[in-house]
Amino acid sequence: MGRQWKRRSRAKRKEAFTSWLIMLPGLILMAFFVWEPLFESVRMSLYKTRNVELVRFIGLDNFISVTGKDDFLQALLNTFSYTFWSLLLGFALPVLLAMLIGETRRGKGFFRTAVYLPNMLPGLAVIILWSAFFSGEKSGVFNILLGQFGVPAQSYLTHADWVIPIIILIATWKGAGATALIYMAGMASISPELYEAAAIDGATVWQRIVHILLPAIKKLAGTLLILQIISVFQIMYEPMVLTKGGPDNASLSLMQLMWQYAFGGSMNYGKASAVAVIVTLILLVMTAVYSYFNRKESDWD
Partner 1 sequence: MKTEQRTGVIRDYDMHSTSVKIGYGLILFLCVLMVILAVFPLLWVMLAGFKDLKEFVSSTSIFPQSFDPQSFATTWNQLGIAQNYLNSLLFVVGSVICALIFNGLLGYGLGILKPRGHKAVKRLILLSLLMPTTISIVPLFMNIQNLGLGNSFVPLWLSYGANAMYVILFVQFFESLPASIIEAGRIDGCSQLQTFFRIVLPLSKPICTVIAIFAVNAAWSDFLLPYLVLRGGSLQTVMVRLFVFSTEQTVNADTMMRSVVFSMIPPIILFFIFQKQLTENAVSVGIKG
Which residues within the stretch 231-250 sit at the binding site for partner 1 (CB under 8 A)?
231, 234, 236-237, 240-241
Helix (H) or strand (E) holding 47: strand 47-50
Q: What is the 3-state secondary structure (H, E, C) of 174-230?
A: HHHHHHHHHHHHHHHCCCHHHHHHHHHCCCCHHHHHHHHHHHHCHHHHHHHHHHHHH
Q: Residue 280 CB, nearest distance to partner 1 (Å)?
A: 6
Q: Given the rule CB under 8 A, which of 59-67, 75-83, 101-109, 292-300 is the region that contacts partner 1?
A: 101-109
C-alpha count within 13 angstroms, C-beta hemisphere, residue 266? 12
Positions in 122-141 near partner 1 (CB under 8 A) = 122-125, 127-130, 132-133, 137-139, 141
Q: Which of 46, 66, 76, 97 is the binder for partner 1 (CB under 8 A)?
A: 97
Q: Does 9 bind partner 1 (CB under 8 A)?
A: no
In 3D, which of 92, 99, 85 has the Cα closest to residue 239?
Answer: 85
Q: Which lies closer to partner 1 via its Cβ, residue 49 or residue 81?
A: 49
Size of the site for partner 1 (CB under 8 A): 104
Q: Which lies closer to partner 1 via its Cβ, residue 250 or residue 272?
A: 272
d(CA 82, CA 90) in angstroms, rounded, equals 11
Positions in 32-51 near partner 1 (CB under 8 A) = 32-38, 40-41, 44
Q: Does 181 bind partner 1 (CB under 8 A)?
A: yes
d(CA 106, CA 114) in angstroms, rounded, equals 14
